[in-house]
Amino acid sequence: MWAEFYEPEELELLEALGFDPAQVQATLASVNFSDEYSFALPDEAVPMPFKYLRLSARIATAGGHSLVGYRTSPCLAIVHEGRTYCVNRGLRASALEDASALSRVLGEGSIFPLKVRYPATGRTEEFSLAAN
For 38-58, what is each residue's pLDDT tens digit? 889 998 998 999 888 899 999
pLDDT, tens only, 65-93? 999 999 988 899 999 999 999 999 899 99
Question: 73 and 117: one domain?
Answer: yes
The verdict on residue 132 lying in a domain is: no
Question: 28 and 60: one domain?
Answer: no
Better-predicted residue by pLDDT, 116 or 45: 116
Tally of domains in the chain = 2
**Model-level pTM?**
0.80
Question: 16 and 69: one domain?
Answer: no
> What range defines the domain where residue 97 resides?
52-127
pLDDT, tens only, 7-31? 888 889 999 999 999 999 999 899 9
Question: 24 and 57: one domain?
Answer: no
Question: 78 and 121: one domain?
Answer: yes
The verdict on residue 113 lying in a domain is: yes
Better-predicted residue by pLDDT, 36 or 78: 78
Question: 56 and 112: one domain?
Answer: yes
Question: 32 and 64: one domain?
Answer: no
Q: What are the DSSP calls for 12-79, one per residue?
A: HHHHHTT--HHHHHHHHHHTTT-TT-EEE--GGGTTS--SEEEEEEEEE-TT--EEEEEE-SSEEEEE
pLDDT given for residue 115 in this prediction: 98
